Amino acid sequence: MPKIDGFTLCKMVMQDEKLNSVRIIMLTAKKMEEDILKGFENGAVDYISKPFSNKILLARIKARLTNSNINFDIKKYCEIELDSKKKIVTVSGKKVDLTKFEFILLENFITSVGTVFSRSQLLYFLRGDDGFEISERAVDVQIVNLKVEFFISVHPSRTIFN
């Protein structure tokens, strides 16, 4: 690396509150015992010296991902937390009850923030591979229901309808 060495970068990442959950595997030409120890002292979770085997590198990455506490089932956006495995949604810590279709739509929205979906794409999310018939207007109804659920969860004392 031209301007900073890997040890310094590793140490900086570990000291940054926003980044310190990142797990670093150092891949380097330095193979002296002091270098390896320095890598671990600066926060690396593994240290691989060149030359290396691609298979061993992938196995070590897989092992680190398997043993990490990262939960890929939890997705977050602003105050919304969605657990894909348990099929639970909370807003500001309060559970929101959603139908299967509302959950599917919300999960796709959260995992693709900023993406604009066509009605046919949303229909595909709802139908999946089962191919059962869902009308195009059903998508509109599901989205309106999502809006209502989230409005109620954020403003429980306010009424939507007069």
Tell me: do 102 and 34 sit in the same domain: no
**Mean local confidence (pLDDT), 74-87:** 87
d(CA 124, CA 118): 10
Please give the structure tokens belonging to residue 155. Answer: 């403003």
pLDDT tens, position by position, 4-59? 999 999 999 999 888 877 889 999 999 999 999 999 999 998 999 999 889 988 88
Query: Who wins on pLDDT, 94 or 159?
Result: 94
pTM: 0.50
Task: With H, G, I as helix, E, B as strand and everything else as coil, classify residue 162.
Answer: coil
CA of residue 144 relative to chain centroid, distance: 25
Q: Is residue 137 part of a domain?
A: yes
Select from 43, 67, 91 the last residue of a domain.
67
What is the spatial distance between Cα 114 and Cα 104, in angstroms, rounded to a whole number?
17
Q: How many domains does the chain have?
A: 2
132 in the same domain as 148: yes
* Confidence at residue 72, expressed as pLDDT on a 0 to 100 scale: 67
- Among residues 49, 67, 85, which one ends one of the domains? 67
Residue 27, beta-bridge partner list: 48
Q: Are residues 33 and 101 in the same domain?
A: no
Domain that holds residue 63: 6-67
Contact (CB, 8 A) for 59 and 110 = no
Based on the fold, state whether residues 39 and 12 are members of the same structural domain: yes
Q: Tell me whether residue 159 is in a domain.
A: no
Report pLDDT digits (tens) over 127-158. 765 555 667 777 788 888 877 776 666 656 55
42 within some domain: yes
